[in-house]
Amino acid sequence: MSTDDDGVNFDYDLTKEQLRETLKDFGLQESDVNGTMLTVLQAITSSDYYESIELRYDDLPNYAIQTTNIISFLDNYSGENSRESIRKHALKPLRDKAGVLGYDEPAPNSPKTHYWVSQEFREHLDNAELEETISEPDPVEGEDRIVDLPYYGEDLPRAPGEHTQLIADGLRELIPNLAEKPVLVHEGLTKEERSDIEGKLLPIKFGGMEFHLSVYPDALAYDEANQVLYLLEAVTSLGPFTDNRIETLLNDLSGPEDHTNAKEHPSLAKMRTA
């Protein structure tokens, strides 16, 4: 893609607007996003970054992100406090609030401490070919990449990470305890599936009704016996499941497109009073 956008002097794969929209899907509010965050994220999602940096240690993975490399790569972040600014305004919130970055600190103040772009975030990106440039982050040790649900006839593949682990646990252990006759309505989206969604509205069907959601829950399950819809969100950071997100979901679910049953679905009324 082109260069020199808003002072960015490198070949980037994603525009700042694309990244801003993607961060919304990961629960970041507009007030959480800043210029430093977008510039750093634009760099570490570009092939140009990984092809130009040199890691200081041979045993670091090729997807490792270190502050010193970011400063070397970004000409406009060469000031005295640039390292602390990048940590405070970009790396730390992207790790703690959004789960966009993974983090490994082998020992306190270790020079091998590094970040990486999480596999969940990679799968949400459009037009970024990270997999062609750097390897995929290794799954968490002992973590299964397949989810087997007793009420669903197919195995569900999933990416590594704490976020997807929580989703899997919820679908596998929580839903069978809550629902008498559960069916899986929705679970995750691959990059290709996201690109197929028209108007960024996720179509879902349950109980003879169809809705289109403008925000995407991590997973949806429906209890056919009791007509209850369960929305699962894996919250691994500080407050990403906001009141605004809840209100948007309620609005999207307030009117089914199939009006054969004009009476409000029982599960929707329960959501409003929960």
Tens-place pLDDT, residues 147-175: 778 888 777 766 555 667 778 888 989 99
Q: What is the pLDDT of residue 259?
A: 37
One domain for residues 182 and 115:
no
Domains in the chain, number: 2
Residue 97 inside a domain? The answer is yes
- The Cα–Cα gap between 147 and 34 comes to 36
| Rounded Cα gap, residues 184 and 149, in angstroms | 9
| Residue 50 included in any domain | yes
Quote the domain boundaries for residue 128. Answer: 16-132
| Whether residue 264 has pLDDT greater than 50 | no
The answer to whether residues 124 and 48 belong to one domain is: yes
Q: For 86-101, b where at least 16 C-beta lie within 10 A, e where not — what string? A: bbebbbebbbebbbbb
The pTM (predicted TM-score) of the whole model is: 0.55
Identify whether residues 100 and 162 lie together within a single domain. no
Summarised one tens digit per residue, pLDDT across range 119-157 is 878 877 877 778 778 887 765 444 455 677 888 877 776
Find, among 32, 30, 31, 38, the residue nearest to 8 by Cα: 38
Q: What pLDDT, on the 0 to 100 scale, is given for residue 223?
A: 95
- pLDDT average, residue stretch 35-42: 93
Residue 126 maps to a domain: yes
Report the amino acid identity of residue 60.
L
What CATH number is given to the structural domain containing 182?
3.40.1350.80
Lowest mean pLDDT among 63-67, 141-145, 267-271: 267-271
Residue linked to tokens 């200081």:
56
What is the per-residue pLDDT for 243?
73
Looking at the fold, whether 213 and 175 belong to one and the same domain comes out as yes
Q: Taking 70 as the threshold, does the pLDDT of residue 81 lie above it?
A: no
Looking at the chain, the whole-number percentage of residues with pLDDT higher than 70 is: 75
Confidence band of 90 (pLDDT split at 50, 70, 90): very high
What are the pLDDT digits (tens) for 47-60? 899 988 999 888 89
120 and 188 fall within a common domain: no
